[in-house]
Amino acid sequence: MSLAAVSIAAAGEQGIRGPDAKFVTVGEPTFAIAHVGLLDGTGAPPQQDMTVIVREGRIAHVAPAAAANVPAGLTVIDGKGKTLLPGFVLMHEHLFYPTLQPGKFGLYPHTFTQLSLAGGATTIRTAGALDPQADRAAQDDIRAGRTIGADTDVTGPYINGATRIVDRMPIIKTPQDATDLVDYWSRQGATAFKAYQTITRDELAAAVKAAHAHGAKIAAHLCSVTAEDASALGVDSLEHGFAVFSDFTPNKKDDICPPWIEGQRALARLSVDSPEIQGLIGTLIKRGTAITSTLGVAGVANAPQHYRTSDEALSLLSPELRTVYEQWVARNGRNVADPALVAQNLEKVAKAHLSFLRRGGLLMTGTDPTIAGVIPGYADLTEYKLMVGFGFTPAEAILVMTLNGARYLGQDREIGSVTEGKRADLVLVNGDLAADATTIDRIETVFKAGIGYSRARLLAAYKGKIGYTDSYAYGPEEN
């Protein structure tokens, strides 16, 4: 039995007890959601007036309401005027966040797994960890039923080169260093790894070989190595996609990161239909390399005056950290020389990712909550709105947020779509999401293994609390 299956059994057999019980709004083992709109996560067009029956934590029946056989006496949730989605599978999450000290990060493993759940994410992958043991402890607590939260695929520490970018990142100086790091953290329970910006090609090749030997996959956010070279070396997913690729930067030197703004200027000179972009898309698809799109963080980090975080989301930050964010906005994020160019490129990045998807590439999404303003529980909703705003159909955007991530993780037989037999990970939204992208902001209930949690209650528990370190074990009652 897989670890995911164990967590289902734990939730189904034990129920939710202790301080987390107050977040539960649907605790019956068997119920139906009737007369609901459905975006099932497979990429199929929206379906109207559907009924979904959940039995003991699994999806037992999906059918048009007129043909559904709802047993007498079954609890029925009225889905009229609402939309049902699969639980989101987000592929670029972190369980740490900025503090009041520049360049310093606090750990939020339990907080962020719960806020991810509040945002509709029932499964997440951490794309890099500053404290893998803390992340794994949160994962173990969730699997054992000691607390609630999104299931978590935990990465090891960043595999970065000799230049440390953030405190607590290891320094890799040789290919053997990369191999040793992967071997050690695989024995500690890491199920994925993240190569980072200043790694060399030889070090990256060693990390990929070691990760694959352990049955783990390796993601990469790179600038020293091009996307084409990383794909050739066997990297499984390229994080941030065309927002960070250094392939088009003039005079790019091997194993050296070029100036980031030069990459942005090079991208601005290309059209999405150009041979350079389409050629790289074709190469990545041929090699089976996935892309994780993170549109929201690109906008918030580099053009925050164009992509401002909502006041509702900012209410989760401590007053002091909110002030840091406001100062960030006033400085145009990372002091980019041309934030308008970055904002313009964001649309190009989105359309390149859409082309990748439509040509058959495995496109996923995540939020990268490492900037004050990219806030778990809200940032994934921004991803959906940006995708649809840049040309994705609602069905395509939900596919990217759900089934594609499950496919990458090898869990698509268990999660990722509203399909009979799968775990009942569901998101109930108040409104017609197929008609109005902003409806995604009105999530009411998030179901994980058939247990329904209140988004509003989860968010309220953390209002004003992000910005300090995560000092409690299992929930906000113990903060």
Q: How many Cβ atoms are within 10 Å of 210's Cβ, its own excluded?
A: 22
Q: In what order do the strands lie in the sheet with 237-239?
A: 155-159, 192-195, 217-220, 237-239, 290-293, 363-365
For 348: left if phi > 0, alpha if psi spans -120 to 50, otherwise beta; the answer is: alpha
| Per-residue confidence (pLDDT) for residue 448, from 0 to 100 | 98
pLDDT band at 12 (very low <50, low <70, confident <90, very high): very low
pLDDT at residue 473 greater than cutoff 50: no
Helix (H, G, I), strand (E, B) or coil at 309: coil
Rounded-to-10 torsion of CA 196, 198, 204, 208: 0
Mean pLDDT computed over 339-350: 88
CA distance 435 to 106: 39
The 10s digit of each residue's pLDDT in 134-187 is: 999 999 999 999 999 999 999 999 999 888 777 778 999 999 999 999 999 999
Q: In what order do the strands lie in the sheet with 121-126?
A: 88-93, 121-126, 151-153
Beta strand extents in 114-243 (DSSP E only): 121-126, 151-153, 155-159, 192-195, 217-220, 237-239
pLDDT at residue 233 greater than cutoff 90: yes
**Biggest alpha carbon distance in the chain?**
70
pTM as predicted: 0.93
Structural domains in the chain, CATH included, are: 3-86+416-458 (2.30.40.10), 89-409 (3.20.20.140)
Instruction: Please state whether beta strands 75-78 and 30-38 pair in parallel, antiparallel, or not at all (unpaired).
Output: parallel
Q: How many Cβ atoms are within 10 Å of 150's Cβ, its own excluded?
A: 31
- Please give the distance of CA 375 from its chain centroid, rounded to a whole number: 12
- Label residue 345 exposed, middle or buried (CB < 10 Å: 0-12, 13-18, 19+): buried
Q: DSSP secondary-structure letter at 96?
A: E
> Which parts of 362-401 fold into alpha helices (H)?
379-389, 394-401
Mean pLDDT computed over 397-404: 98
Q: How many Cβ atoms are within 10 Å of 73's Cβ, its own excluded?
A: 6
Q: At residue 288, what is the residue type?
A: G
> Which parts of 359-466 fold into alpha helices (H)?
379-389, 394-401, 403-409, 455-461
